[in-house]
Structure 1
Amino acid sequence: MTWCHAPPDPQSLPSASVAPLLLLLLLLALAPPGQGCIFEHDPFSTTLTRDIEELTQLLLLDYPVLLPSNLEPDLWCYDFWVIHFVAAELRHMEQVAGRSLNPKIQTVARQIHFLQDCNISDPLGCTRQGQTNVSQLLGALSYHMGELETRWQQEPWPVTMSNCTYVRCRTDTPDPTSEMASLPALTYSRQKQERTLVSRASPQTGGLVLLILVPTLLCLGFTLWQLQQRLWRQRTQVPEEMGT
């Protein structure tokens, strides 16, 4: 008796099911690390101090606003995070300000608009907001913009802030009003500085990660391909043995 059987379903062939998986793994491995929040040129304005002073003259200085009170005092990211939250408060002020005040707020807000491309977020929802007044808010903006500009000028361009796109918070529980009493005078331990330096170096280590990750994924894909090929051969051998 001769058995006639059709060739295996093309979907069961190893190349049909494994090839897309290998391609997907390879694309994921070769995808470059986060490239956002990189600044090619100096984004700082020379008129910020003047614009803040003009805005301050039109404001009720006891107008209540919010600023986070528990940000992690990271040497590289702290100023960046504070400016981000100040920008959020300025956007809120724009929505409630009158016609005469709104242009002044927009003028200051444009000075820090460069942060928008970074999509800074608080994925853990860990920030705790503390109430302060608008004069303190604008003072914090002036102070932290100055600190950030000084630090960036000491770095080679482009400057990357990719490791600052996720806000981090302190693990202790300070008094929510303690950081609102005066402009921050940050101090950093050696351990904090070393951690930050490692954090900043992380985008540069992307090539090393790829060198390790790509061969690993390729080996995994090849192993899966061998396993599926072996199972396919076993399925095709059963009808042949029955035919004999």
Structure 2
Amino acid sequence: MSGPRILMIDDDAELGAMLTEYLAGEGFDTTLVTTGDAGLTAALGGGYAAVLLDIMLPRIGGLDVLRRLRAASRVPVIMLTARGDDVDRVVGLELGADDYVPKPCYPRELVARLRAVLRRSEAAALVAPASIEAGPIRLETEARRVIVAGEIVDLTATEFNLLERLIRAGNRVVAKDELSREVLGRPHETYDRSIDVHMSHLRRKLVERGVDETVLETVRGVGYRVNRA
């Protein structure tokens, strides 16, 4: 029985072949595609549990692939970015990527990030009750939907998990390190802005549906909480 199907979009064929072989040893069934346009077509075709997406790609760049993919699919995406290229990482997270791994990447770190993303995307079957609410926000855990004023808010898997974690915390402030460990699957590092970017994107989507921007409260230097007042 084959493991989760992973799509890798990377024009470095040698690296791709090495990672594909390593992932196979970890139980993943990986397909390698080396151009942006072919990768986008494959990703939109469905059937993949997650996508590993390089930023630098021929024909269509990785960020454009991500933008077009997110318009039609919620499949988890891990970006492969140049080490130290913070701008691409932030833009990718704002476009809806779930996580990133700097290149050259360590295969064990990639597998750990991949498994964390898959665990988060599969968490819906393990939670109850079927829905929880915070003010105008209704979060349907089994369907993985967020509804405001009768309309579905289109969230990524990471944004959904962040919102669920905060709502379940009640009025308690949830520290960034706690959110990073439980939602991203890794400790929060001093200069890592991933949680902040995801939260900014989440807040913007909720505000666009009429939710007051103060509902998701930033507690400076600590973390975030849902303000139910």
Q: TM-score range by the shorter chain?
A: under 0.3
TM-score (norm 1): 0.21
More strand by share: 2
More helix by share: 1
Answer with 1 or 2: which has the greater Rg: 1
TM-score (norm 2): 0.22
Higher relative CO (Cα under 8 Å, sequence separation at least 6) belongs to 1
